[in-house]
Amino acid sequence: MLEGFESLRIARDGVTLKLRRAGQGAPLLLLHGHPQTHAMWHRVAPQLAQRFQVVLMDLRGYGDSDRPAAGAESANYARREMAKDALHVMGQLGHAQFQVLAHDRGARVAHRLALDHPQAVQRLMLLDIAPTLAMYRNTTEAFARAYWHWFFLVQPPPLPEALIASDPARYVRSVMGARHAGLAVFAPEALAEYQRCAAIPGTAESICADYRASAGIDLRHDQADQDAGRKLAQPLRVLWGEHGAVGRCFDVPALWRAAASDFTGRSLGCGHYIAEEAPALLLDETLNFFRSNP
């Protein structure tokens, strides 16, 4: 997978981040979801690299990036901290401004990145999420059943960590296989990569810290933005799966119109894992939305 992509490591405040890059043109940062790695983009990144300088980054706690200790309130895994990672990586690569395509957890990082650093993020495409604060505040039984891991992972340590660490591959297959398309949609080598990285020591602790931050310190940051009337200023395109829980359980357009000044979006005929279930549709959307010239 991803032949021809250069492998790099960039450190920020003692946390080393793994990334891959290829292509020329305007810089485009791709951020992955849970419980995946940058490998989730393998069906679209090579084609995007024909038009853009594509940067694929493993979020801290995932893939082959470092897994720092959670810290008080899991603050080391706050979206704000992960957004600083992304900003630093792009700055070290020489990109003061760039566009972002992001899925799931990475899309929540991208949302925070665009809010905190509007001078850096030019355009933003988010896959299969609604704003985090709105999702927690409007949770239903149907959503809780579909996204059970949101509520499992935030339980106090050490139980969630111990259960994940006892069989990391089973955890990956359980989370991903329970969605609309099942496990068959994933390339065997991609699924093997997700399972390999889930078994790296410290991953269970990092995953839990990620979700605990999202249900705690991140919500306070989001509420502060809402109270201050801050919205995304960049052109925002949101895509969600017609068969995914986000689209079924939330009014995705209404929630993003309340959070962004320039929103467009639509559902696609797939489930949650858009880049792997519907890569051709996603490529069409990205090529139409992002600007290929620096």
Question: How far is C-alpha 100 from the chain's CA centre?
Answer: 11
248-251: long-range contacts at Cβ-Cβ below 8 A with a sequence spacing of 24 or more? 248/142, 248/146, 249/140, 249/142, 249/143, 249/146, 250/130, 250/134, 250/135, 250/138, 250/143
Upper half-sphere CA count for residue 130 (Cβ side, 13 Å): 25
Nearest Cα to 127, choosing from 38, 252, 257, 261? 252
Q: How far, in Å, CA of 124 to CA of 263, rounded?
A: 10
At residue 203's C-alpha, the angle toward residues 197 and 209, to 5°, is 140
Residue 2's nearest CA partner among 53, 41, 50 is 41
161: left (phi over 0), alpha (psi -120 to 50) or beta: alpha
Task: Catalogue the active-site residues.
Answer: 104, 272
